[in-house]
Chain A
């Protein structure tokens, strides 16, 4: 029973490039959450998705960031035209139902923008 799988584990992008971060939730989990941890900070909520629906994107920056969770395949967090300030650890979590508190986190993707 695989856990939440995130890839890549490490991603290096030059300023202006696009970054795509992937998250496969645990089997049977239909809710996905993305969090970001900037250096020296706690985790900050970005977006909450269900299959083919964005439920809450109140934590997403207004520009350059988008997320999707298609009917088939992993959830994708996409950052266009990356800047140095986007360098952070991005964590994905999944849960089995909307009201559940039982998040399971992936190991994260560490994005470095050079």
Chain B
């Protein structure tokens, strides 16, 4: 049972335009959400996160939006750059025993074309 879902396996965007990556979750106990970026043959790199008490968090070109009622979050990258081409993972964690293990989506492969 996939608790964190990234329904688009891939996305292609023109350089300079906005990239929007989507993520849905089913477990209402999740209270913290993270986006990671992964290049081939490397480990995931933390990008940005958001607590469930917020609906938006911004860091430079990256903004994450959280809609708790819809159990949906999205990552916006503006403007997109070729170096952003990577696989993006959405992950979530909950309060169970203060254990911060992460539940991951399957990832969305973003290609930014020059």
The CA-CA distance from A48 to B96 in the complex, in Å, is: 13
Interface membership of A4, Cβ < 8 A: yes
Segment of A13-21, A62-70, A80-88, A95-103 in the binding face: A95-103
Q: B46, A104: Cβ atoms under 8 Å? A: yes
Interface membership of A55, Cβ < 8 A: yes
- What residues on A are CB-neighbors of B26 within 8 Å? none
Chain B residues bordering chain A, tally (CB within 8 A): 25
A-B contact count (CB 8 A): 60
Name 23 interchain pairs, CB-CB below 8 A, sorted by A. Answer: A4-B43, A33-B101, A42-B89, A42-B107, A43-B89, A44-B104, A45-B101, A45-B103, A55-B99, A56-B97, A56-B99, A91-B43, A93-B43, A95-B100, A98-B98, A99-B98, A100-B100, A101-B93, A104-B46, A105-B43, A105-B45, A106-B43, A107-B43
Contacts from A to B (Cβ < 8 Å): 4, 6, 33, 35, 41-45, 48, 55-56, 59, 91, 93, 95, 98-108, 110
